[in-house]
Amino acid sequence: MIRAAGTILRKDLLLELRTKEAVPAMTLFTITVYVLFHFGLDRNSLDGDLASGVLWVTLLLAAVIGVTRLFAAEREQGGIDALLLAPVDRTALFVAKASALFLFLVVVELVALPAYDLLLLGPGLGGTLPELPLILLLGNVGIAAVGALVAALAAETRTRELIVPLMLLPLLVPLLISCAQATEPLMRSEQGPEDLGRWLGLLTLYDVVFVLVSVAVFDFLLED
């Protein structure tokens, strides 16, 4: 199963490297949203809860683009039939798609966070260093699990561009709460009390629940 997942993942990454569809669009989108927030809030620099909220809302909106494109190549080129005919467990397909989304998000964040520091963030990224990567990591796992599930659910509908954001964003609310609350103390100008443990705990619970649910129901999607 791991080998099958690895093969599909390699195919997806190769495809992304050659077509450059999802990741550059997601990155460009995050920068655009920063500009929108700059004008919308009329602020030159952000800190504290505003900074962490803007960062996480931007990342979630960028994830919507990634999720919409997750099954795009298979659908448009008809490769989905070949994938489904292959004697591969659906769980392998889920693992591959979720890992692809996870890696896309990591690449986007590698660009989006320095850009955030440069454009909007007041206190600087230095103060967030040991904790923020951990929060991002756990957040990405949750987004990847829910995103792969939503992408597969929406793949067979006529109105998938509408279904993806409408379904994905409410499902991500608990993740947004825990990520934004965990990031908020790291982005304050003056250090204050933190409650990292509770939010990381909630985030881990969210990840575990949705990875399990997605693995359990993925077998019933993308049949025939």
Partner 1 sequence: MFSKGLAPLAIATVVTLTAAFTLVFFYAPLDADQGFVQKIFYIHVPMAIVALGGFVAGGIFGIRHLRSGDSSWDLRSYVAIHLSIILGLGVLVTGAIWAKASWGHYWVWDEPVLVSFLVVFLLYCVYFPLRFAIEDPERQARYSSVFAIAAGAFVPLNFTAVRLAEAFTHPRVLSQTGGDLPGEMRLTFLVTLAGMTLLFVTLWKLELTAKHASMQLKKLRRRRAERREAVAA
Residues that bind partner 1 (CB under 8 A): 149, 153-154, 156-160, 162-163, 166-167, 170-171, 173-174, 177-178, 181, 195, 198, 202, 205-206, 209-210, 213-214, 216-217, 220-221, 223-224
13 vs 169 by CB, closer to partner 1: 169
CB of 30 to partner 1, least distance (A): 24
Looking at residue 3, its amino acid is: R
What beta strand segments (E) does 17-121 contain? Answer: none
3 state SS of 96: helix
What is the spatial distance between Cα 15 and Cα 74, in angstroms, rounded to a whole number?
11
Distance in Å, CB of 155 to partner 1, minimum = 10
Size of the chain, expressed as the number of residues it contains: 224
Token digits for 100? Answer: 């692809």
Contact 204, 175 (CB under 8 A): no
CB of 117 to partner 1, least distance (A): 26
Q: Between 124 and 201, name the residue whose CB sits nearer to partner 1.
A: 201
88 or 163: CB nearest partner 1? 163
Q: What one-character DSSP code corresponds to residue 186?
A: G
Nearer to partner 1 (CB atom), residue 16 or residue 184: 184
